[in-house]
Each structure stands twice: as C-alpha cells, then as structure tokens.
Structure 1
C-alpha cells in the first residue's frame, strides 16, 4: 500500500471532514458506494459528470472513477478498497491523475455510517498527499465539492429507495440435473476443484467477460466469480464450501448478486459416481430467491448450460 512517507517530496495536507444525515436506512446509503452504476449518478461535484467507473466491491478490489469537467477535461481517481465493514465503514485509497496520467495527489478516504434518528449519518474524512505543492488549490475546495457531492448522493439514495421491493419475502425452488460424461471420475471432480479446469466451463459464454475470480475448494474455503454481460449487467457468485469428498461429493452454499442487488442464496450438492468407463454427475440445488426476484426457471436452465460446457471441456 502506498503511504505518504514513501516519497519525501510528497506534501501532506490537513484532513477534510464532512457529514450529512440521510432519511434512509444504513444499508441503502452504504450500497450507494458499492457499485459503479450508483457512483456514476452521484460521485462528483457540480459541473462534473462521471462517464466511466469501475468498482470491485471487496478488500483489494478496484475503485476507479473518471470525472469530466464542463470543458471536457478528465480526472481519474484510481484506487482500491482497503477496509470494508458492511453498513458501517469504508476505507479507500486513491491516486488522482489528469488525462495524461500525471499524478496530482493521493487521497485516503474514510466513510462511516451510523444510525441517527430514523435515518443515517454519513461522515467522510479525506486526507490528501500532494505530488506537487502547486496542486494545493485542488484540495482546498474539497469541503465545498463534497457538500455538492452529498447533495447528489441524497438524490441517488432517494432513487434507490423508490426502487426497493415493496415487501421482503422469499420464494423457494429445488431442481436436480443429471449428466453422464465419457470421462473418468477423477477428471470430472477436477473440473469442479482446480481453478484452470473450472475456468474452461464455469462462465457465461460469448456475451460475458470475467472481472474477477478466486477459488479455494476445501471445507471452509471460498470461491468468487464476478463478470460483466454485454448489456452492462454485473453478476457476482460468492460461495463457501461445506463438504468436499475427493472424487465423490461437493457441497457448498452460495449467493448471487446482479449489480448490487442480492437475488438468491442457495445450497448445492454435486455427486460424482463412476458408471463403467463413464461418470454420472448429479447436481441438486435448493434455492431461496429474495424479495420479488422472479427466477422463472432461469437458474435451472443456466446450470444445465454450464454442465453442457463442462462436458465439452472434458473433451479438450
């Protein structure tokens, strides 16, 4: 992690602190920071727009925002999430540069979220390290800029609140899919447990681009896959492995998100059985679909598509 002391020519400035109370729950105000589609609506002072943004909401994930001024000049804030405490605290490190890639200053941002009355108080503390003392003017107006930015955040939170489901409820669904592959049992198991082997089939196809992927298949281990579809929709798969019996069985729980919305939580069981020289695979999923998300059988169809891709990968 870059720190102010890494370059003795860097010039630190005084921290800026600004706060605002929003008439909304903490989780809603917090979520406005967690997805590019939200940041593009509010993360800018007056006179600026956000034509591009990239957010990987995890510790170490990208927090990249391009702000464009009224006269067309672009300024990039590129950085990472350093700390994430859900609905309570965010710490973000960014480097601000101009269109030529020249570093202007570094910013250390702490956002805290606390209950206040029937709403949420957001406090933003931002510390700056100047690459050039001549850029001091850029941070002197930070408080005023953040006041304008929080005005837009209030509008975005109100918009998000209006789009929240009218009620909280869960719809349950269960399905089982079977496949038989012309491959040995160990090879099918490997397709589920080795990162390179699984990457060959566990993705969305031609209209899908992988954004981030990690995998650790063992009891207590986790798997993460995030990708962007051609229409801009971002899907996120996060799993934890509960039982792994080599060459025979895998049990894991996982949740799915579309953009920042959690749509489901599921339990999946994978059973692998030899049938002569072939292998029989049985996948059973028990899903809880959340707050009005209408699956309409797409999860079962999507799983079937993935298992067909798995079969093709075993031929390679």
Structure 2
C-alpha cells in the first residue's frame, strides 16, 4: 500500500529504433559534446551547450533551448559504459533555480541485427516535484521519437552516406576459421545445396522475411538472396561463382545492397579440409571494397562469423 505522502512512479518509457549502421557508429554519436549537440533534443529545439565525458562517473549535461528561447537543462552522470553495447546514465531534470523536478535513469542497449543495429532505450522516472514532473514526462515518448530522428541523420553523416558527393571506398580483408564435427561432404552440402543453405544463410527468424532466393553453384553460376527486415529495409546478396572444387574450395564474388544502395563488392574464398576424427576445418578469406561509409571489414567480419556459427548449428 502506498503511503499518502508517496507518489507512484510512472511506467518506464521504452522506445526502439533500427539504424542502417554499425553499433560502433551509433555509439560514437553519444560519445562527445560535438555529436550530442547535433541530435539530443526534439524537433524545433537546439543544444547550445553540452558537457559529455563518456566514462563511469563522467558528466552527461545537456542544455536544450526551446523555440521560445527558454533553456532546459538535463544533468547526468554515466554509471555504466560498455563500448558499443550499453550505456546507463542517471539524469536529473532541474527547474530554473536548479532544484530537481524528477530523476530519469536512462538505459541504452546497442545490438547487431545482421544488417545494421538496433537501439533500445528504457527510461525510468523518480518524481521529486510530481505536479511539474508529470506534465513533462507525458511528452517524453514524442520527444524521444523526434530526437532519434535527429540521431539517425547524424549516424548517416558519420557514415559518409548523406549527399550525392559523399562518396568513399574503404578496402579491407579478413580470414575466419571454424571446425565442425561433420565430414567435408556434409559441410559442402550445407554450402551448396539450396535447401541445406536455407537453414542457416539468411536473417534471424522473426527479424527478417524472405523475398527471393536462387542458387546455382557451378563455375559461372549465380546466387541471389533478398529479404526484408522488421524496419522495412531490404538487403540483397548477389554472387557469381568463379571456382568450384567439390568438397574442397569455393571462390565467388558478390555485391551487397541495402534497399537500392550498393554498399560493398567483395571476393571470397572458402576452403574445406578434413580433420582427424572425421570432422571439417573451414577457412573463409574475404577481400572487400566497402562503399560510401555503409560498412567496413570489421562489421562484415562480425556478420560472417555469426553466419558461420549458424552453419555449425545447422550441422548438429
């Protein structure tokens, strides 16, 4: 039972947004006053002042200026910082005299989606001045939606993907190895048989919807996979096979699109070797040209590793 002098806490605010970017890029948008000034406010507001020190115990202070010229401060402290994965900030919203109106614990989680990232924000409130606080909190969901619109625009700029003149190419390569408790013939089938490959090569169930799939594994043959993510964005994988040695080697080139935008062109080699005990060692090497800031070798390596893990799970 709540005592007469106590006020029940409002329900926490929960809001999510998917971005066509890596977790590292979106995390970077929180990391400095320069970046935060460009997005941490609703539409029509500006941020003339900010103090951001991204470390446990560091400051997260933001002054938002309303269209009528009034200034509204949020004063916060980082209490958890896990690079590219999680932020927790204890925030206090004061009045013009500096007295607290309410406190807000803001938890921000960054997660890979396989074709971008997802940002999940949970904000829990403790009221100090309930009469004033409730009116401000009532608009929090709308304010966060507009704020995340601005964050999305900044993320595109950070990735070099805004404007027809924002063109760039980043070159990179990586190699990954996996050992599977299955013979090379079975691993080869998982790589080259359409029904077997469908079990592991694609988006996660519930997060991705298949639009198109075709596969012809032979020299000169092509493979195409297109799907739609929950955000509405489509991804397309278009490959050509250049060398096919049964149960031994695949060499192919492929391009990736997000919606209608080409984001990379790559050359990949998969090699299979039998191991003692009847298993298989798989090695994949990829060289890529990553276009206009949408991807890089680090992000592609991470995504490829997840697919190889899914391949292993399909063999069990």
TM-score (norm 1): 0.49
TM-score (norm 2): 0.49
Which structure has the greater CA radius of gyration?
A: 2
